[in-house]
Amino acid sequence: MDADSLIISLEHVRKEFDDGFVAVEDFHLGIKRGEFVTLLGPSGCGKTTTLRMIAGFSIPSSGRILLNGEDITNLPPYKRPVNTVFQHYALFPNLDVYENVAFGLKNKRIPYEGKDWRGRSKTKYRKLSPEVIDEKVAKALKIVDLEDMEDRDVSSLSGGQQQRVAIARAIVNEPQVLLLDEPLSALDRKMRKDMQLELKEMHRKLGITFIYVTHDQEEALSMSDTIVVMKDGAIEQVGSPEKIYNEPVNAYVADFIGESNIYNATMVGDKSVRFLGGVFACVDDFPLNEKVDVVVRPEDVQIFEPGKGKVEAKVATKVFKGEMYQYVLLVGKAEVLCRSTESYEVGEKVSISVLPKNIQVMHKELTENEYLDAWLDGKGKVYIGEEDISFPVDVTQLLKGSEVDEDGYLVDKKSGLRYDLKDADVRLTIPLDKIELEDDLSKGECRGRIISAVWLGDHYQYLVRTEEEEDFVADTPYQWNVGDEVAIHVDPQHLHIRLRKELSNYVLEE
Ligand SMILES: Nc1ncnc2c1ncn2[C@@H]1O[C@H](COP(=O)(O)OP(=O)(O)OP(=O)(O)O)[C@@H](O)[C@H]1O
Ligand SMILES: [Mg+2]
């Protein structure tokens, strides 16, 4: 991208709070002049933290923030040509609309080159004249469509009108960049829809850069030039709404950005992918036999008479949505969400297909849980990271024809050699579907909280994080909610370990 067209650059920005929590990690993004950029992600993913760093209310732990090519990383907020409309905007309830909007202007001091009493030149400050303030307030109120409301008490305004006052207050300073942190979250659905259109119109009229924060994907899709999808303080994908919707880079983005069918799939030939028990032509090229994820949007599922499509299905549910029906079809145990103007009955047999261009094939992020910093205690347990998480493990998998003797040593039954595996570093892997989650917290080897959940057609994929910040990804058909605490259990035969060093390093000298 041409650096001149960028108004703001965030360069590998990281924010670690005093308690050691990393809220933003390696955030790298260029924002073009006049762009409407939306940071989109679930609660707690670091959206507000990122905005606060752009505004100057918070200083990055590392990385740089540039404005018009100049480093503003450490510049105080009032020196930045940036204004913020906060998640919880606070108007002055005792002041009228005019006074609320004019408040900042009245306190503003404009620097100019004057002379001191000896006639030497000196930077002096003056207030804005009442006429100039009047003019600026009138202009701001016109943009937010409140020009006749100058004298109204703000407490007498509707939520939407109050929101517009908050926006007028931010744009009256004529910032180059307007930051908006979930400005519509307090409004009801109908009002939010209206305000979305109005905000878009304001953006067009003002011609300045908007950086908008929301966790509402519909809002992001309808308003933005560019969407930045965030997860856990990091960027997952940056692109236009169409790009993010049609070509999500992974299952997380696909799931977050709208209703979709996501399936485990395998490449079975040149641009040919197998899922739902059928083989489909696709447009993406991946290596033969590669495990991939595919996304199919509900509106792209074609429904035919039995035998006329690629795979056979049965109607499981039917909901009338006004201009069309929404169905859940079953292909074996896998669910297919789809829509059609045609009416089919629950229990009816149908056949489905998907056009190649509507099958989005994505790299599988993860095929198994992998822990590179695991180690053995020599007493039949494998530890992950520090001392807190451990699982009973079968160490005889390290050597064919071995057993564990009464002292806990691994014994080669043929040669009689004994191995002391205390503190031996191993690489531990656990298949996704072998992590068992339990409501009963006493049942597992450790416990954690559900951080995210993605429905993959016939099972959920959960990210579970322990208090020690160790992550487990579990594939299971059972349902939990984000935030639930669960016990994590793995049967010893599903813990796969590989020594980091040769086994011969651990021979017991006798
Ligand atoms: N001062 C702080 N000290 C420690 N942790 C903090 C601090 N401020 C925020 N956090 C943590 O950083 C993470 C990101 O917070 P942030 O407010 O940026 O999230 P968000 O994406 O804006 O979420 P929401 O949609 O709920 O507003 C959260 O886990 C939050 O608890
Ligand atoms: Mg926030």
Q: Is residue 499 part of a domain?
A: no
Q: Is residue 406 part of a domain?
A: no
The pLDDT tens digits of the residues spanning 238-265 come to: 999 999 998 899 888 988 887 889 888 8
Q: Is residue 396 part of a domain?
A: no
Q: Is residue 115 part of a domain?
A: yes
Among 191-195, 214-218, 287-291, the range with the most confident prediction by mean pLDDT is: 214-218
- Range of the structural domain that residue 312 is part of: 257-363
User: Could you tell me the distance, in angstroms and rounded to a whole number, from the CA of residue 179 to the centre of ligand 2?
Assistant: 12
Do residue 324 and residue 234 come from a single domain? no
pLDDT at 352: 97
Do residue 285 and residue 141 come from a single domain? no
Q: Is the pLDDT of residue 288 over 70?
A: yes
Do residue 148 and residue 225 come from a single domain? yes
Q: Is the CB of 51 under 6 A from ligand 1?
A: no
Q: Is residue 240 part of a domain?
A: yes
Domain boundary among 363, 386, 420: 363
Do residue 210 and residue 291 come from a single domain? no
Looking at ligand 1, which atom is closest to the CA of residue 46?
18
Do residue 294 and residue 155 come from a single domain? no
User: What are the contacts of 237-244 at 24+ separation with CB within 8 A?
Assistant: 238/29
Q: Is residue 13 part of a domain?
A: yes
What mean pLDDT do residues 387-394 have?
89
Do residue 289 and residue 153 come from a single domain? no
Q: Is the pLDDT of residue 117 over 90?
A: no
Residue identifier of the C-alpha nearest atom 30 of ligand 1: 44
What mean pLDDT do residues 400-421 have?
93
User: Could you tell me the distance, in angstroms and rounded to a whole number, from the CA of residue 402 to the centre of ligand 1?
Assistant: 51
Q: Is the CB of 143 under 6 A from ligand 1?
A: no
The pTM for the full model equals 0.75
Residue identifier of the C-alpha nearest atom 22 of ligand 1: 48
User: Could you tell me the distance, in angstroms and rounded to a whole number, from the CA of residue 469 to the centre of ligand 1?
Assistant: 16
Give CA–CA dist 90/456, Å, rounded: 42
The pLDDT tens digits of the residues spanning 422-440 come to: 999 998 999 999 999 999 9
pLDDT at 328: 94
At residue 449 the predicted structure's pLDDT band, cuts being 50, 70 and 90, is: very high
Domain containing residue 199: CATH number: 3.40.50.300
User: Could you tell me the distance, in angstroms and rounded to a whole number, from the CA of residue 49 to the centre of ligand 1?
Assistant: 6
Q: Is the CB of 230 under 6 A from ligand 1?
A: no
What are the distances in angstroms from CA 91 to CA 45, 51, 185? 27, 20, 16
Give the mutation target among 13, 14, 15, 21 for probing the ligand 1 site: most ligand atoms within 8 A of CB: 21
Domain boundary among 329, 345, 363: 363
Looking at ligand 1, which atom is closest to the CA of residue 41?
21
Q: Which residues does residue 150 pair with via DSSP β-bridges, in sequence order?
A: none
Q: Is residue 294 part of a domain?
A: yes
Three-state DSSP class for residue 156: helix
User: Could you tell me the distance, in angstroms and rounded to a whole number, from the CA of residue 453 to the centre of ligand 1?
Assistant: 20
Give CA–CA dist 151/216, Å, rounded: 34
For residues 272 and 282, the answer to whether their CB atoms sit within 8 Å is yes
Do residue 158 and residue 9 come from a single domain? yes
Q: Is the CB of 43 under 6 A from ligand 1?
A: yes
CA-nearest of 217, 295, 212 to 251 is: 295
Do residue 224 and residue 272 come from a single domain? no
Q: Is residue 301 part of a domain?
A: yes
Domain containing residue 284: CATH number: 2.40.50.140
Domain boundary among 335, 363, 391: 363
Do residue 210 and residue 76 come from a single domain? yes
Q: CA angle 334-338-344, nearest 5°?
A: 100
- Name the token pair of 376: 């053995």
Do residue 231 and residue 261 come from a single domain? no
Q: Is the CB of 21 under 6 A from ligand 1?
A: yes
The pLDDT tens digits of the residues spanning 13-72 come to: 999 999 999 999 999 999 999 999 999 998 889 999 999 999 999 999 999 999 999 999
Do residue 218 and residue 85 come from a single domain? yes
Q: Is the CB of 57 under 6 A from ligand 1?
A: no
User: Could you tell me the distance, in angstroms and rounded to a whole number, from the CA of residue 86 to the centre of ligand 1?
Assistant: 14
For a pLDDT cut of 90, what percent of the chain falls above it? 62
What secondary structure does DSSP assign to 428-448, as a single string? EEEEGGG-EEESSTTSSSEEE
User: Could you tell me the distance, in angstroms and rounded to a whole number, from the CA of residue 102 to the centre of ligand 2?
Assistant: 27
Domain count, the chain: 2
Do residue 177 and residue 267 come from a single domain? no
